[in-house]
Amino acid sequence: MTDEVLAFTRSDALTIGVELELQLIDRRTGDLTRGASDLIHLVERKPYPGDIKPEITESMIEISTKVHREFGSLRDELRAMRDVLIQAADRLDLAIAGGGAHPFQRWHERQIFDRPRFRHVAGLYGYLAKQFTVFGQHVHIGCASGDAAMSLLHSLARYVPHFIALAACSPYYQGVDTAFDCSRLNTVFAFPLSGRAPFVTDWAGFEAYFAKMKRLGVVESMKDFYWDIRPKPEYGTIEIRVFDTPLTVDRAAELAGYLQAVCAMLLDAGARPESEDIYLAYSYNRFQACRFGLEAQLIDVASAAAVPLHRDVLDTVERCRPYAQRLGSAEALDAIEALVRAHGNHARWQRETYQQSGSLAEVVLRSAALWSARGV
């Protein structure tokens, strides 16, 4: 049975797909509001691209794209999905926003969406399930085999701080400035089986690991792993889960384009990590990226030197440019470079908006306006 569940479905290398968890907002107060069931019911009456489905509470939804080869078509589909959602939300007098965490929602007021999986999670994790009302972008990268997936998963470990800092968009939580650019991952870290995947570098080894964990009763399926990067054998992908949901769909597509180019560079170099030493500074670097965003200082394991994260991203962008040209994502890398040079992640935008307005509700409402592409 385990072999059937974990059979790795081959997919074309470097294909990409995106999932975005989105906030449902009361237009009067800026608070989260229950609306997922009504919104999904309304959207399903007409054809729409991709997939739109519920998440763990009634105050959030998840959208997911089809499989794409290029940044441009991915961005176009995300824009089309956004437009469908905004039209439906207008009819329900709701707003929709990105962002990794709502700045002032009260977790105990959330209502678990009525599905067996969500009821199971709520029963197992108690109050953590409602605190899990945080919002991430997940990017899937196609892999030609399970062995290739595990090699690429571990090779990406060095770049996880890049993805955290570039996407960081959750500085406010429970009504206060957390002093983190990304506070969302602190919530995720409370779950068992979060953090990094075990250092297993081939698919046979991972199947054996999964079988042991299932026999112990620790997991029932791959969904029980909340790792930063996890394999998705049924899709033939690895899933990178550290991104906060950006405030715009264009930024979401640009982040996916950058990730795709990094993966192409790693695959071209062989993408075969030989030692678990690649993880010696992983937790430290992950914390630095969450706490300081683009101003973080990373420890390079090979040289034992501290490296400014923003400089490391710019150097990586330059190394990735030939791959981006081939993949059709040069525009995405240009956007990432501009973001870094301006030190302009969305956590900074939210803080500047709060400084201007003095209101967290206004931060949310302007975020919703940004996501809808109606301006602020």
Give residue limits of the domains in the chain: 2-371
pLDDT at 271 (0 to 100)? 77
* Cβ neighbours of 326 (radius 10 Å): 12
Confidence of residue 130 (pLDDT cuts 50, 70, 90): low
Give the mean pLDDT of 265-279: 91
pLDDT at 375 (0 to 100)? 54
| pLDDT tens column, 145-200 | 999 999 999 999 999 999 999 999 999 999 999 999 999 999 888 878 989 999 99
Q: In the structure encoding, which two tokens stand for residue 213, read together?
A: 């964990």
Span 2-371 CATH architecture: 2-Layer Sandwich (3.30)
Contact 248/375 with Cβ under 8 angstroms?
Answer: no
Give the mean pLDDT of 257-261: 98
pLDDT at 54 > cutoff 50: yes
The CB-side HSE value for 106 (13 A sphere, CA atoms) comes to 2
Q: Tell me what the pLDDT averaged over the chain comes to.
A: 93
Give the mean pLDDT of 259-267: 98
Q: Report CA-CA distances (Å) from 31 to 24, 52, 54, 354.
A: 8, 22, 19, 15
Contact 241/256 with Cβ under 8 angstroms?
Answer: no
Give the mean pLDDT of 88-100: 97
> What does pTM read for this prediction?
0.94
Confidence of residue 1 (pLDDT cuts 50, 70, 90): very low
Give the mean pLDDT of 130-136: 81
